[in-house]
Structure 1
Amino acid sequence: MNDGVFILRDLDKFTSVTDAIIAKELNLKNIVLKCGVIESNYYLSQKLNVSLATKLFYLSRLRVVNGKPRSIEKTYIEYDKVKGLEKEDFTDVSFYRVLDNKTGFKINMTNEEILIVEANEEECEHLELEMGDEVVLIKGTAYIEDGNPFEYFEVTSIPSFYRFRSV
């Protein structure tokens, strides 16, 4: 699906995708797929520099832009840093704006890896793809001022949704 709808991501600065969508005057709908508290596994423990089985805030959302599903976003944060965040309504709002308003935390840097992978069954279902279709997978760690890992995230999107720029 390449209908000309895309978001430009500057690789040298952190910006909210919700804000970028709104700035382009696109119709946005965020659908919360899951929100709650989980225990960290080995992989997430390594990414967030926490002990195995540490409680994590977890949020998974589907972004629908101009009536078409574009991406699935998953975020993980050490629960002790954001207690109660799972009670917030993340439908049609900027996650980072809610995070800032409720906790005062502001992301100031991310390290990201951009991959092209085959969509799994869940991604095919939510993004309306066929098995074997490729997706863009962005895996990253976000940091706040103290320099420690604050958030681990994964964004799976249809290939045409993101364009990347480095200045």
Structure 2
Amino acid sequence: MAEQTPIYIQIHDEMKRKIEENIWKIGDRIPSERELSIQFGVSRMTLRQAIQNLSDEGILERKVGSGTYVANQKVQEKMTGTTSFTEIMLSQGRTPSSKVTSYFVTSPSSSEIEKLRLHEKQQVLRMERIRYADGVPICFEIASIPEYLINHFTKEAITTSFYRILEDEGYKIGRANQTISATIASEKIADFLNIKRGEAVLRLRQTSFFEDGTPFEYVRTQYVGSRFEFYLEK
């Protein structure tokens, strides 16, 4: 005889259905625990188990002193292969945009020389920008690109469709090495990303390679932790 599904799981599934069917929309405050416990005919303890599960899944978001809300869906990046920010946004139905805060060609730092396998006399394009999804700031990015790769491209092409123009030129984009760590936002980053100074951010360092193993981009990015998540796929 099949074991009956626990009550809190049934409530979890029903609440999730309301969200998926847009009965409760993103950003909506859901009814209070008292109202929901009456509605489902269960104790508040049982109801809290369902809400906690939905919170753990990132579907609901609890705000102290305010209530529980349907969470804004986080932008996700699968940590396999090399995919541009623009492609990630478009694949999730988001509108990508960016604001360039700094753009110049310069001598490479020691880390840029190492990551991009450059000679000291070679130069890099160093570009800083804020990247957005549907107008909401998601991350602040510093990208370093060997100057010899892009000296015949326009600034607009590089800042809006870098990966595409590389592929149009016949380059085959391959793997990426990624390192993630947690840190807190500095005053500059907090201002760029419209968050509080000291708020948690995810820091990603990524070196991207062509299929032949040549590195073509070294990026340091800080993501707003509440707006972005990475996931692994084996």
TM-score (norm 2): 0.63
Q: Distance in 2 between matches of 1:151 and 1:78?
A: 7
Name the counterpart of 1:15: 83
Q: 1:100 aligns with which of 148, 167, 187?
A: 167
Q: Distance in 1 between matches of 2:79 and 2:200?
A: 22
Structure 2 contact 157–165 (Cα < 8 Å) conserved: no
Name the counterpart of 2:230: 163
Contiguous gaps of at least 5 residues in structure 1: none
Structure 2 contact 79–230 (Cα < 8 Å) conserved: no
Distance 1:28 1:44, change over 3 A: same
Structure 1 contact 73–155 (Cα < 8 Å) conserved: yes
Structure 1 contact 73–153 (Cα < 8 Å) conserved: yes
Which is richer in helix?
2
- Larger Cα Rg: Structure 1 or Structure 2? 2
Q: Distance in 2 between matches of 1:85 and 1:120?
A: 33
Instruction: Report the residue type matching 1:50 in the other structure.
Output: L
Shift of 1:90: 5.0
For the pair 1:131 / 2:131, whether they are aligned, the reply is: no
For the pair 1:120 / 2:186, whether they are aligned, the reply is: yes
Instruction: Report the residue type matching 1:105 in the other structure.
Output: Y
Q: Distance in 2 between matches of 1:16 and 1:79?
A: 19
Aligned-residue sequence identity (percent) comes to 25
Structure 2 contact 82–208 (Cα < 8 Å) conserved: no
Q: How many residues matched?
A: 164
SS of 2:80 mapped into structure 1: coil
Q: Distance in 1 between matches of 2:126 and 2:165?
A: 14
TM-score (norm 1): 0.85
RMSD between superposed Cα atoms in Å: 2.1
Contiguous gaps of at least 5 residues in structure 2: 1-60, 62-70
Shift of 1:89: 4.5
